[in-house]
A and B are shown apart, each in its own frame.
Chain A
Amino acid sequence: MILAVFPLPGRAGDDNAACLECHSDASMTFDLEGGESLPLFVDGAVFQKSVHGEAVSCTDCHEGKTADHATGSLPVKTRHELARSDSKACTGCHEAPAEGIHHAVIARGDDRAPACSECHGAHDVLSPDAFRTHVPGKCGSCHEKEAKAYAGSVHGSAVDSNDDVPVCIDCHRVHKNADTSPGALSLRTPIICGRCHTDEKRMKKYGISTRVVATYLADFHGMVTTLQRGTDAGKGVRLAAGCTDCHGVHDIQKTDDPRSRVIAANLQRTCQTCHAGAPKNFPQAWLSHWEPSPRKAPAVWAVRQFYRLMIPFMVGGLVLQISLHVLGILRKR
């Protein structure tokens, strides 16, 4: 999300130099009441390179800090509390996110959700583009299990070297990230995954078909998820399988990787997560994203060809018969 930034006059340098007289001491810390040690060190060079380095001075964020602020006491007990209270400095310029699961968590009185600086950093805030590869690490500092699965996946293992793979926020979004717990996010996976997987230019590099979404939508699961969109999972509601239900969520592997849930050897077990007791032949009921052709699924192709001829033949014949009948009546009159 692009937020409004108000450029400030270039007076930052002088003010900051005064602050850094003390705060460039790398060993300076403050012992918080909660037991954590709060580093008071600020790397001036890092800040200078950060997105705020040119335009923002220390006291723009640390309002009211004067030369004699080292009183030996802070109104917060933990670093998290400090970050939460420091968010006010961000919202002075940037509009505070009012949506998304983290906001909802805070709104219901749970203070575990991250404050601005806990994702974006404080003195080292990077522009969104430069921040990209840091995202999995940032999210992973709380969401450890997911980050670990992602790191081993086809997407996560390439994140440092490849701009095409998605990071957390590409699927979950940033400040509008949705709650994944009701399962409704899985209904949107054809759209979410499809953003990249129907992109001809991007998929060509990896030899991946862009027909994967269309072929999914053409089958039973695709029909049901389309009609279920907006439905929340709950008692008595069974959502049909979306992309991630078969391919995995954070741990997606290449389809020819032995660890892949959709490789032939694992497919029966994957089907069984919803279709309890699915027999050995059951996975063949799904055409593995192939379109029916004389080579792939010739039986399905033959049925389709039959009706492609039969329906026009039948309709044409009936229309002809009706026309002749009407003609006969007109002639009789």
Chain B
Amino acid sequence: MSSERIVRFSRKRRLEHLTVMVLFVLLCLTGFPQKFYTHAWAQALVHGLGGIDRARQIHHAAGFALAGLTVLHFGAGLAGLLSRTIPFSMMPTRKDFEDVFRQLRYYLGTSRVEPLYDRYTYKEKFEYWGLVAGNVIMVVTGTILYFPLQVTALFPGVLVPAAKMAHSNEGLMAFLVITIWHIFNVHLNPDAFPFDPAIFTGRISRERYQHEHPLELARLEGRPAPKGADPDLGPHGPVHGEG
């Protein structure tokens, strides 16, 4: 196969990812010491950041930046969807749910055929929507915690400790999902090891595209969608019916 490289992520998406990544790291660094403040590492980290007040300032700035980015992302996404300049490629479809079961059957050995994926696999969609949902929870609860006077002027005061409980736990869950799931998929996964640079370079090889997103590649190249592949013959082998 040629070393032809295909653009998978636009410059804008790569910049978005980079920004989210930096903000996420900053939020974790300044947030977890507040959750685990009794531990020596947390106290050392806060001290290193210049004290709890400074750590909170950084946390607030990064939080507002991420909130702004979320609003922009949704705004642009909605406008793009409505004007049909962005495809509905991230929307969960019936096929995604079927893919979950196809993939599971393959994993469990009851089927020898892996599902063929379009632009985003169900795993990528799950991670994206998980991040979106988590982000909304973090932005909403973070805003409540930042404006307790204004919030309690309109709502019962218990909203504040409830928001704190959600913010702290959702943050931990996001961190665990990212460290376990994302780091496995883009770093430790034997297919990606040691590091999948696609989200930074924007490009992946045609060979990999064919392997991971054959339906999208076929559409990009104006070919009819393949109907399934026998893993024993490789991704480019003769097309069989699905097992």
Chain A interfacial positions (CB closer than 8 Å to B): 217, 219-220, 223-224, 226-228, 231, 237-238, 275, 277-279, 281-287, 292, 297, 299-300, 303-304, 307, 310-311, 314-315, 318-319, 321-322, 324-329, 331-332
Contacts and interface: CB of A to CB of B under 8 A. Distances in A.
Interface of A is mostly: helix
7 contacts: A292-B165, A303-B165, A303-B166, A304-B165, A307-B166, A325-B189, A328-B106
Nearest to A324: B107
A328 B152 CA distance: 52
Contacts of A310: 169, 173
Contacts of B162: 297, 299-300, 303
Contacts of A286: 157, 161
Given A220-B164, A325-B189, A315 B176 contact: yes
Interface centre among A228, A283, A284, A304 (most CB of B within 10 A): A284
B160 interface: yes
B155 A281 contact: yes
A300 to B, nearest CB: 5
Contacts of B198: none
B161 A297 contact: yes
A278 B161 contact: no
Given A223-B34, A284-B157, A324-B107, A300 B181 contact: no
B50 to A, nearest CB: 11
B51 A231 contact: yes
B156 A284 contact: yes
B190 to A, nearest CB: 5
Interface string B168-201: 0110110011001100100001110000000000
A311 B169 contact: yes
B24 to A, nearest CB: 17
B53 interface: yes
B158 A284 contact: yes
A299 B158 contact: yes
B176 A285 contact: no
Contacts of A231: 51
Contacts of A299: 158-159, 162
Interface string B95-127: 000000000101111000010000000010000
